[in-house]
Chain A
């Protein structure tokens, strides 16, 4: 399982301190999610595109991600314009789309793409472990951060375990189809995965105790703010203020 597709690079966003990412980009994402109208979401999308360009993301990989996200947006376009009350905008056969519905669907499209693009550009460009590390410094509940840490560590391990079990099934000529046998086999596979995961977790904890674990990991590395952090932090703060400003002017 390759989880960190965008984490490698040397752009300003890759070099940014993850603590600043949480503090500066968090408000931008929340404000965008709460924004109404069309102007503020459109502005947020422009900001997100700028961030994505700054991060130098691989256009092909990014395109695939955005395509997946926009499948849901497409479903919204199928339903929303026709189910919302309002003046008629256009009609397809017996179905009449309302102007309000089209505007609302457009707003959702802009907001969804803005938030997802900004999330990839800002958080996708840092390794998950650095994000967890930053959360410890930001005083997030330690147990929750450790849970994230272990979860991230063992998802790929268990995915390998799963692949091994699936290969063993293939060797024995298993074909997935709609049948009682097929479902039972899958369910037993899931059961086996859970049993193995549980037994592995016992070994993990015992190994931790052997190494003197008593409730917390020592944090050795510390973050230091550099010029890129001040610059990017200010830019993101200005971008967030922009969302609020556009809403205040009532566009």
Chain B
């Protein structure tokens, strides 16, 4: 999910850039040296997974996976989304250099909201509760992103209302698929590697992994 170059107005681009700088500052504070490769490699996994095409009726959709990024990375979703979009902007020219701030906010802000919304449910540790948290996070990720894009377009120019409404409408099936998939991914992680969900430390947890190799 991203907005193209050359569309948004100066105030919208400025607001996006300012929010991104703030989010990056908080995210980088959470990301100590040990976590840099963690965040990078998990972010590249999410990036690769977001390229998968899911069949929906006769068409197919891509997932945004920002809700899942929120669960796994918390505030560090900001730097993770930022580098992913920067690479896309520099190499594929999807999104772009001048819209980097706005597009990072669109993806990462809902991720942070999802992380705060679901944190307590995940910490509680039950399987059903975790799956529900996953479904909620997936829904928040898509809905938040879609709403932010619609807001950005309409604040740029009121005539974008029609376009924004069409954009929201086509994302309803995406929201359903994303929510279901995020829930199943969380169920999988709950079984296989629960520490990733912040239940016992992990990337997002507060206890940390410790161990002899912990250097800082």
Write the residues of chain A forming the contact surface with B, with a CB cutoff of 8 angstroms.
3-5, 26, 29-30, 32-34, 41, 65, 68-69, 72-73, 75-76, 79-80, 82-85, 101, 104, 108, 110-116, 119-120, 123-124, 128, 131, 141, 143-144, 146-155, 157-159, 161-162, 176-178, 182-184, 186-198, 200-202, 204-206, 208-209, 213-215
Contacts and interface: CB of A to CB of B under 8 A. Distances in A.
B91 A187 contact: no
Interface residues of B, number: 76
Contacts of B56: 178
**9 smallest A-B Cβ distances: which pairs?**
A111-B6, A191-B188, A150-B40, A187-B184, A197-B45, A201-B41, A112-B6, A33-B98, A84-B159
A26 B97 contact: yes
Contact of A151 (B34, B83, B163): B83
Given A124-B90, A141-B24, A192-B192, 8 more contacts: A76-B7, A119-B96, A131-B90, A141-B28, A187-B188, A190-B181, A201-B40, A206-B213
Given A111-B6, A162-B49, A197-B44, A205 B55 contact: no
* Residue among B55, B65, B161 facing the most chain A CB atoms (10 A cut-off): B55
B206 to A, nearest CB: 18
A183 B180 contact: yes
* Residue among B93, B94, B96 facing the most chain A CB atoms (10 A cut-off): B93
Nearest to B46: A194
A112 B94 CA distance: 11
Interface string B40-64: 1111111111011111110000000
B189 interface: yes
Nearest to A81: B159
A73 B4 contact: yes
Nearest to B82: A144
B48 A193 contact: yes
Contact of A33 (B6, B162, B181): B6
B91 to A, nearest CB: 5
Contacts of A188: 184-185, 188
B186 to A, nearest CB: 8
B166 interface: yes
A99 B90 CA distance: 35
A26 to B, nearest CB: 7
A101 B84 contact: no
22 contacts: A4-B91, A33-B13, A34-B13, A65-B93, A73-B4, A80-B159, A83-B161, A123-B90, A123-B97, A124-B93, A144-B83, A148-B86, A161-B48, A176-B55, A183-B181, A190-B49, A190-B65, A192-B188, A198-B38, A198-B41, A201-B41, A202-B38
Contacts of B54: 176, 183, 186
